[in-house]
């Protein structure tokens, strides 16, 4: 009896109204990991944030499956650059 939180992929698809192939597409792009437990595909709770983010981008902005990876990559770069800007601003303030 495992205490970990996994969600059946079928349940997830029906809750979010997405096709299972679409979720497989996210996995194929390395955006989420799907595991097999007791003969069924499941998603760990930790995988929910990237999954939900992908669903939102797809649903709200009609971002295609192929472009979700691109958006994720660009967002990561923005985040890195924002951290860098904050770090440099802090360093700069010490000279002022």
Partner 1 sequence: MDYIDYYKVLGLERNATDEEIKKAYRKLARKFHPDLNPNDKDAEKRFKEINEANEVLGNAENRKKYDQYGKDWKHAEEIEKQRQQYSRQGNSGASQGFSGSGFEGFSQGGFGGEGGDYSDFFESLFGNRESGGRQRFRGQDLQASMNLSLRDVFHTHKRELDVNGRKIRITIPAGMEDGQKIRLKGHGGPGANGGPAGDLYIEFHIQNDTPFRRQGNDLYSTVPLDLYTAILGGEVLVDTFDGKVKLKVEPGTANGSKRRLKGKGFPVYKQEGSFGDLILNFEIRLPEHLSEREKELFTELKNLRQS
Q: How far is the CB of 49 from partner 1 (least distance, A)?
A: 8
Q: How far is the CB of 45 from partner 1 (least distance, A)?
A: 4
* CA–CA distance, 42 with 5 (Å, rounded to integer): 10
Which CB, 77 or 94, lies closer to partner 1? 77
Which CB, 28 or 83, lies closer to partner 1? 83
Residues near partner 1, by CB under 8 A: 1-8, 11-12, 15-17, 45, 48-49, 52-53, 55-57, 59-62, 71, 75, 78-79
Q: How far is the CB of 84 from partner 1 (least distance, A)?
A: 15
CB 45 within 8 A of CB 6: yes
- Per-residue exposure over 31-61, b if at least 16 CB sit within 10 Å of its own CB, e if not: bbebeeeeeebbbeeebeeebeebbebbeee
């Amino acid at each position: 009896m495992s205490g970990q939180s996994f969600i059946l992929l079928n349940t997830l698809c029906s809750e979010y109204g997405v096709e299972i192939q679409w979720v497989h597409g996210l996995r194929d792009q390395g955006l989420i990991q799907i595991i097999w437990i007791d003969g069924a595909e499941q998603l760990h709770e930790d995988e929910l944030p990237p999954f939900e983010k992908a669903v939102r981008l797809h649903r709200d902005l009609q971002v295609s499956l192929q472009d979700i990876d691109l958006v994720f990559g660009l967002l990561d770069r923005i985040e890195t650059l924002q951290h860098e800007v904050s770090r440099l601003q802090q360093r700069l303030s010490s000279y002022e």
